[in-house]
Every structure is written in structure tokens, then in C-alpha cells.
Structure 1
Amino acid sequence: MNFNRLEEIIKNYFYYIEVLHITSCDDPEFLNAKRWERLITSVMPNLRIFNMNHTGLADKYHDVINQFNSSFWITKQWYFTHEHITKDNSQTGIFYSMNPYRRKCYIVDWQKSEQTCLDIKETNFRSVKHVFIDGKQVSKNYPDYFSNATELTINSFENESLISTSTILNTIFPLKQITKITIAHCIFPFEQLLQLLCVLPNLHEIKYYRSFFIKVDLKLIKQNENFQHVSIQNKVKRLEILPEGCTIEQFQFLLYLFPQLEYLHVGMGKVEIETFIPYLSSKPFVQTHPLFFLRIGQLRKKSIPQLNRLMKLNHLHDHYLIKIVYCDLYLWW
């Protein structure tokens, strides 16, 4: 169907339409911003959502996208971008709606961004609250900015440049606003995490799904300048470290590093928990630290009866409220 025929249908039947999705190919009239503006204004006054996907010659999209940056489109928060696709020595493209006004999460992919022509203003992403980093090699020239982001998830990340990780990330969103960070499925050394924590003054929650303590000298690291800064300034209240186990020494280390910690979720093996329960029964930290909830995960099902006997032997129930759900032990006081 060409645009002329679609326009005829719209004029006759679309007055009460609120949501319109258009997929088209080749016909350049589908990219006539002025024509769409007149049609929407006069015939579809109730339209709330306008999505368009057009496939055609990529070289025309650079000029077309400027037509869709008028006050009409910006006021309605209808934004567009385009990508180039090279195949068999010819270059086609896709012109499509971004819909950032409805988007709460956004995936930052540096590899993809190098092949995507984006002409979106920073304010277009103000609804995004959660940014996912997904790109092995980071770049300092990422085109988008997420001014209201409060949550960061790093799925894959490699920074081989001379520019610090925090400097690069700060060009994508204001680090001072981040309250929650998740490190998942990527190598993110502890010292690099410390550097990042130094510039996250309002961080309240950390989820770390990699080896947290690998190659970390618990005594030596305390002399690190970043460690000293973080241990005094950070506001982290919730910490989850999985699937790694946690020894008594590492537990004490975490309490020292995060003095405002209230909730801790760690994994433990059979040997670790058998030494940990007597330590808990002595309650050496309860009076001096705000931690009040401890979740120990990844317990083996067959070891739970022995664990119950051990807790009774050490009178753990005298000091804590205790519950075992599946293979997780919950303690709070």
C-alpha cells in the first residue's frame, strides 16, 4: 500500500485512533514529516503513540531525520533514528521510532553504536532509569546521555583506553545519581570497583555476580587510598555477592568497607558455614554495626539437617530470627 492510499483510509476511519504503528518500504512519502504532521493534526487529534519503521536507501535518511526534529515531534516526544546496513556492495537502511519517552531501561552497546546513526537529543532519554552496559570495548564517544538514570548494570566491559572508567561512564549518565549497581557476567577487578565507588556518592545497593575477592589481599588493600576513601564516604546499605563463598575474615572485611551495611547476601560452602555459625553465636558485630539482615545462599540440601543441629548447639535461635527457604538461610535481629 502506498502512502496516498493509506492517507485516504486515515481520513475516513482514523479520527478516534490513539495508537498507530506503520511499517513501510521504499515509498519516500512515508518519510514526509510535514505531510504526517498535517494529517495527524487535522485527522487524528487523539493520537498518543506513533511508531514508524521504514526500509529504504540509507543515504536519504540523514536529510529525512532533520524533518522529524521540529517542535511538533519533540513536543509529542516522538523521536526517530536510523541504521545503515551494508550488503552485497549496496547500502540500505532502517528509519524507525525510538520511543524513548516510554523506555525505562536502555542497553548501551558500543559496538552497535558505531554502526548506528543517531540524531537524538539528550533530553529524549530522560525517562530512562536503568542503563545496561553491554560492550566489550568501551568508547568515550557514545552519542546518548541519560540524565535521570539511577541504576547501572554492567554485563560486559573492557576499558583499554587511558581514560578512567568513571570518566567514560560519566559522559553517559551523571554518576552522582546512581543508587544501585550490578556487576554481572564480566571481569571487573576489585580495584576497578573501588575506583568507581569513589565517584558514586549516593550508591545504596551493590549486586556482584562475579568473584569479589579474587586476587585481593585483605590486609594490603586497606592501605589503598581509594579503599580508605570508600570505607569512610560510601552509603551502601545492601550488598549481594554471588556465587562466591565468604569466610569470617572476608565477612569482617565487608563490614569494615561498608560501615552502613544493613543487608548482606553471600554464598557459603559447607566448611565455611560450619565455622561461621559459632562466630555468629558470639555476636561480636551486632553492637557496633548496623547490619541486621544476613542471607546465606547456595547451601546444599543434604547439609541442612546438620546445619539445623549446629545452630541449636550454638544457641543461634536465642539471638536471631531464623528461617531456611529452599537452600538459603535467613537471619535477622
Structure 2
Amino acid sequence: MLRLTTGYNEKCLNGKRWQQLIMSYMPYLRIFDINHQDYIEKKNFTYHHIINQFNSSFWTEKKWFFTHQHDQKKQSTSGILYSTAPYRRKDYSYYWEPVNTKCSNIQKENFNSVKHLRIASEEIVNDCLNYFPNVNELSIEHKFTTSGDSIIATLRRMISLRQLTKLVIESHLFPMKDIINLLLLTPNVHTLSLNLYILDYFNINSNRQKKICQYVSKKNKIQNLILNQRCSLTEIQFIVYLLPRLKCLKAQMERKEIGQIIRFLLSKTHNRTRNLFYLCILEVPKVCLTETKVLIESKNLLNDYSIKYIDRDLHLWW
């Protein structure tokens, strides 16, 4: 078995060279699995010219098949080449695909093995959507546009939202309103990761949003949360209201509000954090270790706890 994930090294796309290498040194190789992203700089060459080398009889006789996607709209000089086989692909990245494709060597794929779908496109065209029946983890790299339907309607055509157990939003432009609407339809998510300012452009005082948030608060099962943008006390309070079953929280925090946030999370005057037992404050100076210890002891916030500072992150268990 040979599995490769590489990028931006055109030598890895030399099908004839791979053929010679395998015939000479790996004659009993059963699985050749490659995932390669590249940009072709040769004049008058396109990505298709290069990857056509993988369509010879050497590859087809071994039942090693390949397909590709383009990672930029209207660009035939860049793309991602990868192996296709139903037993191999548990992670799948979805890039831009044209409606009227000119790529004659694109293979039909079996997506039954895919468990983790990563949407890396900035645009999704409804006419060329694929369905991934067994996905339970979704990552969204960009705030993508669609060709008519809403983002959520498009996602429902690609995956079963109720099957999701992990949701990762990497884009800081993805609206909180859309995330909450998505949580309405993903009641089995237990791990959520966000990379945005929670309350930017989000009106938590509107009656409609209040009702939606109340419903999400009652129904969601999220226990693990990662917040990769700096959060204020107000944002943490909102998150705790929205996700009352949290057990583990990792978050960047406003430096001046860390003490207030810790006091709120460990407070016995409300019942919202009763399940929380682990807090990780991301990317803080080491002095926060001493400050947090002093705060916990002076305010008698915890009796039994453990605290460590590792790689610029502060970890607190109780």
C-alpha cells in the first residue's frame, strides 16, 4: 500500500515516472492512493495535459482510477488529482465544479465511504451537487455562495444534516444567524468549532432570533466547543445560554476580560455551566497561570482543580 498527500510539486504528477518506479521497485503494490494539489506553470499546458498520463492501460489494468476537481473557477491550470475507490476515501474535499464540464476524464465516484466532508469552494452550483449518504462530520472553509437555494437548502441536498456529530466553520465571514439556523437542523452535533466573532451583525434582541435561540438551547447536544476568535464576556454569556450542555470549552478571550469570564463560568449563582469541567484559554501569556490561580483561591471558586500552561494555552480541569 502506498498513500500520498502532496502539493505544489509537479514531479508528483508524472504518471510515466510513477509507472516505471512501481514496475521496478514495487511490483506487488496493491493500493496506490494519491491526493495532490498543484498549479501548472508551463506555457500552453493545462492541468488536463499532465493528469492524462494516469489514464493509460497500466493504471486501468490494476484498477487504479483517478479523478480531479478544479480549485479555482474557470481555471484549467490548477486542480486536485486524487484516487477513486470506495474503500479508500473517508475524507473528501469539495471544490468548485462547473455545470458544463469539459473534463472528459472525470470519473464517477462512490461516496458511501466518506465520513468527513470538507467544503473548500467559494461557490456551489446546484446542478452538479454530489450526495454523501454517510457523512457525520462537516467542515466549511469559506462562506460560499449558491446558485439559487439558501446555504442550508444546498447542504441538505449534499448530506443528511441529522447525521452530523461534528461541525467546523473555518470562515470568519460565515454569519452567526446561518450557524444557528444550521444548528436547528443538526440536533446530534456534539462538537462545534467556530472561527468568527459571535455577535457581529447578529441581533440577539429580535423576537425571531430569541425564539430560534430558545429552541436551539433546548434541543442541541453540543458538549465540546472551540472558539478561534477572541471572545468577550458578553459573547461567552450568550454561548453558555445557547449551549447549556457544554462539558469542554476551548476559546480565545479578550485579555482584559479573562478574569471576569472565569468567574462567570465557575459561578454557583447560575446553573448554565453545571456540566462544564474543562476550560482551555488559547494563546495567552504565561502570567495568566498565576493570575488564574490567585483568582480561584481568593474567590474560593473551586476546591479541587488542576491547572497547567502548555504551548501558550492555559488548561483548567475541575
- Given the two structures, how large is their TM-score scaled by the length of structure 2? 0.70
Structure 1 outlier segments of 4+, above 6 Å: 54-59
Structure 1 distance, partners of 2:152, 2:296, is 44
State whether residues 190 and 224 of structure 2, in contact with CA within 8 Å, keep that contact through their aligned partners in structure 1. Answer: yes
Query: Partner residue of 1:305?
Result: 290
State whether residues 15 and 51 of structure 2, in contact with CA within 8 Å, keep that contact through their aligned partners in structure 1. Answer: no
Equivalent position to 1:23, from 6, 12, 15: 15
Query: Partner residue of 1:315?
Result: 300
**Corresponding letter in the other structure for 1:292:** F
CA RMSD of aligned residues (A): 4.2
**Corresponding letter in the other structure for 1:153:** S
Gaps of 5+ in 1: 1-17, 26-43, 85-90
Equivalent position to 2:216, from 224, 230, 238: 230
Distance 1:129 1:57, change over 3 A: closer
Query: Partner residue of 1:273?
Result: 258
Query: Partner residue of 1:197?
Result: 183
Query: Equivalent residue of 2:141, what SS?
Result: strand
Deviations 1:60-102 (A, max 9, x none): x99x99xx7xxx99xx7x5444689xxxxxx9xx998424531
State whether residues 162 and 188 of structure 2, in contact with CA within 8 Å, keep that contact through their aligned partners in structure 1. Answer: yes
Q: 142-151 vs 297-306, which deviates more?
A: 297-306
**Corresponding letter in the other structure for 2:108:** I
What is the 5 A alignment of 1:213-224? 213-220=199-206, 223-224=209-210
Structure 2 distance, partners of 1:49, 1:225, is 52
Deviations 1:114-167 (A, max 9, x none): 56453414xx12222111111112221334332221111111132254412122
Q: 178-187 vs 282-291, which deviates more?
A: 282-291
Give the C-alpha shift of residue 186 in structure 1: 4.2
Structure 1 distance, partners of 2:284, 2:269, is 24
- Given the two structures, how large is their TM-score scaled by the length of structure 1? 0.67
**Corresponding letter in the other structure for 1:251:** I
Structure 2 distance, partners of 1:102, 1:293, is 35
Query: Partner residue of 1:250?
Result: 235
Deviations 1:192-245 (A, max 9, x none): 111211221211110012222212333337744432332222111111112222
Instruction: Report the structure number with the largest CA radius of gyration.
Output: 1
Say yes or no: does 1:153 pair with 2:135.
Answer: no
State whether residues 69 and 95 of structure 2, in contact with CA within 8 Å, keep that contact through their aligned partners in structure 1. Answer: no
**Corresponding letter in the other structure for 1:49:** I
**Corresponding letter in the other structure for 1:255:** V
Equivalent position to 2:30, from 20, 44, 48: 48
Query: Equivalent residue of 1:244, what SS?
Result: strand
Gaps of 5+ in 2: 3-13, 18-26, 35-46, 71-76
Query: Equivalent residue of 2:126, what SS?
Result: coil
State whether residues 243 and 298 of structure 1, in contact with CA within 8 Å, keep that contact through their aligned partners in structure 2. Answer: no
State whether residues 307 and 315 of structure 2, in contact with CA within 8 Å, keep that contact through their aligned partners in structure 1. Answer: yes
What is the 5 A alignment of 1:69-148? 79-81=65-67, 97-111=83-97, 116-117=103-104, 118-121=106-109, 124-148=110-134
**Corresponding letter in the other structure for 1:324:** K
Distance 1:56 1:161, change over 3 A: closer
Give the C-alpha shift of residue 281 in structure 1: 5.2
Query: Equivalent residue of 1:206, what SS?
Result: strand
